[in-house]
Structures are given as structure tokens and as C-alpha cells.
Structure 1
Amino acid sequence: MNPELPVALPQRGPAEHERREQIIRAALDHFRHYGYAKTSVADLAKAIGVSSAYIYKFFESKQAIGEAVCTHSLGQIDRSLMEIANSDQSATARLREIFQSLMEKSLELFFEERKLHDIAAIASANRWNSTNNHRAALYSIIKKVIADGRQLGEFERKTPIDEVCMAIASVMTPFSHPLMLEQKTPEQLAERVVVITNLVLRSLAI
């Protein structure tokens, strides 16, 4: 499997449709307040004034709605990291900021949107495509920065780039995996992200 290749989410009906967006917004609101487990398709149907059968025209299951919500939450993190990857900073500075930002935004989801974080934990535990796509996006972001760093003469070129990217993605896991985030305090994570980033950058030096 190509680590950069996103997986299509299960979908019914037109991709761009006002009702689809309305269902996702209702799901975001309900999941945020009541949690994924305590929200039913019937609850969402009632919130937007349609039947459950109508919702199933757009989503094949409650999980499919959960995946759409998870994709929304994780996609915000991905877009933020891609902005860093596309910035004018040195590749070294970009990689350092990506490590830091990934940790901060993952913790923000954990502490400020706990019930949405819980959906991400369910998605990760059950290997939903939404979390697979988040990992694919992160891998692509890392690969862009490493390729830029090599072109700019900041990073060594001997190690196969996919090997480098896979290793970096692996050491980023404790700062983004919803279950692993629960095992350390924010202070411990902040300390570790600096140490690991320094180690990674030393390994990339020419």
C-alpha cells in the first residue's frame, strides 16, 4: 500500500450536496455535545427535520457519518501542517514547526473537543479510512519537506527518501495518536517533542 495514497470514504448520493453538509454539521454538533456512542441516526434526522431513511441516501451507516466528521476534524490539522510545509522557511524550521504544531493541535482536540477526540480514538482503534487518510496526508507533508531539504542542501541524500519519511512518521505517532496522547501529560509531550525533533534533525544533517 502506498503510504501517500488516500482511501476513498464510503459515499452515497452526490459528493457536493447541501443536505450532506447539513447532516455533517448536525453530526458535529451532536457528537461534540453527546458523543458518538450516544448519538443515533434518528437523532440526526430529527435535528434537521428529515427521516432516517433520507439520511441513508447520503451515508450508508452511522460509521460513515462518523468517518465524515473525523475527516473534518483531522483535515483541519492536515491543512494547517500543509501550510507550514509550503511556507518560505528553511526545511529544518518547517520540520521543527510541523512536529510542534502536530502535537499542539492534537492536544487541542483532546482537551477542547474531547468528544470529537473520542471519535478519533474509535476511528484509530477500528482503522477507519479517515485515520488512514490522515496518516497518508502526514506522510505526504513530511515527504515534501524532506525533498525540499535535500534540494536546498540541508539534508543528506543517501538514505532512501521513503525510508526517511516512514521513520519520521513513526516517531511522530506519540504526538498525534489519540490513545497515545492520553499516556503523557502536555508537559511531558512538550519536552519529548523537542528532544525527538532534535534527534531527527541531527540524523538528517549532511
Structure 2
Amino acid sequence: MDEKAETRDRILEAAGRRFEHYGYSKTTMSEIASDLKMSTGNLYRFYPSKLDIAEAHALAHECDEDAMMKAVVLSGGSAGVRLREFHRVILEHTFKLIDESKKIFELAQAISRERPAYANRRLAVERVYLVRMLEEGIAEGLFEQHDSLDELAEMIQCTTMKFRYPQLYNCFRIDMLRRELEGTMDLIYKGLLKR
């Protein structure tokens, strides 16, 4: 790893500690720079804004979520079972992150509000996995053929949005969310079944 990449990693670690302890809104670029014993001007050479640091911090943590989604898709078995498990895993992972640190919730809100393209990229990644499971469900003879699987995956995302974004469920208990997700997945599953 080169020196510039190492410095970027150190910045993300220092910013992450501040975000998790003080929150996004109470963290300043000068405080991050001070933690690293560097000038604020030097920090701006690596990241033009605090929001850029927040987005890079979030990107660094996407690997875990991507690995979980991929593991479900590749786990084998019925596409219908995997489709349910896929959404359950996302809910449980996100709820746990937010439950462990309310400051992460604030960070997620800032990124989704200020950088909607970030959320759109995440949704596009998820749609690739959904389309694959839909294709496999059709190949199994389980799901009805559909003209546009990407559009169908997008509609599934619209239906399950509440379980993906803590901004939509942060006042609910996990047991309530699990029950609602099961009911929602029942409806989706019935709508997908081959007639």
C-alpha cells in the first residue's frame, strides 16, 4: 500500500472514531485533522469535505453487507427461500448496526440526504442479486416469467424499503419488523408464483 492510501485509511479510521463517538454533525474537519496531527489544509488534500469522508467511511463498510447478500444468493436451495432470507439478512444487519450506535444512524441520514447517488448505487447492487434470484426462480418453474426482471426487482425494493432504511423504522422493535417483513414477503412470494 502506498503512503497516500495509508494516509486515506488513517483519515477514515480517525473520522470513524469521531463519527461513532460524537456523531456526524458534531465532528469537524479540524478535529479530524487534529486527531491525526496534520493540518486541516492537508486533510482537504485527501478529502474535499466531511461528507466525502463520511461517504468513503460508508463505502469501506459495504464489503460486509455485500458478502452477506452474495452468500445468501449463492447458498443454494429454492429461490423463494433465498429471497426471504436475503431480506431478513439485510434487516438484521442494518438493525444491529443502528442499535449498537445511534451515531451511525445520523451518519446514514446525512449521506442519504446529501448524496442520493450513493443510495442509488447501493440499490443497483442489490437489484443485481434480486434479478439473479428471480431468474433462478423462473428456471425452477417456481416464479412466473416477467418481461423486465430489473423492473420487477425494483418493485420488490419499493415494497421492502422500510426494512432496508433505518430512517423508516428507527422507532420500531426488531420483533415487530420481523413480523412485518414476513408478511410482506408472503405477499411478494404469492405475487411471484407461477400460475
TM-score under structure 2 length normalisation: 0.90
| Runs (5+) with no aligned partner, structure 2 | none
Distance 1:134 1:186 in 2: 23
Q: Which residue of 2 aligns with 1:11?
A: none
Q: Distance in 2 between matches of 1:45 and 1:122?
A: 21
Residues 177-203 of structure 1: per-residue CA shift (max 9 Å, x gap): 121012433222111000111111111
Q: CA deviation at 1:74?
A: 4.2
The equivalent of 1:87 in structure 2 is 75
* Equivalent residue runs for 1:1-80 within 5 Å: 17-80=5-68
Paired residues, number: 192
3-state SS of paired residue (1:57): helix
User: What secondary structure, in the 3-state scheme, does the structure 2 residue paired with 1:17 have?
Assistant: helix
Which structure ranks higher in relative contact order (CA pairs < 8 Å, sequence separation ≥ 6)?
Answer: 1
Deviation at 1:73, TM superposition (A): 3.5
Native 8 Å contact 1:41 1:52 kept in 2 = yes
Paired residues of 1:67 and 1:129 also in contact (CA < 8 A)? no
Cα RMSD, aligned residues only:
1.8
Deviation at 1:139, TM superposition (A): 1.5
Instruction: Note the alpha carbon deviations across 1:21-60, whole angstroms, 9 max, x for none.
Output: 1111111111011111111111111212221122212111
Task: Give the alignment partner of residue 104 of structure 2, picking from 109, 116, 136.
Answer: 116
Measure the CA separation in 2 of the matches of 1:80 and 1:169.
17
**Identity within the alignment, %:** 26
| 2:141 aligned with 1:141 | no
- Provide the C-alpha distance between the structure 2 equivalents of 1:89 and 1:39, rounded to a whole number of angstroms: 46
d(CA) in 1 for partners of 2:62, 2:94? 9
Judging by fraction of residues, say which structure has more helix.
Answer: 2
- Residue 131 of structure 1 corresponds to 119
Structure 1 runs (4+) deviating above 3 angstroms are none
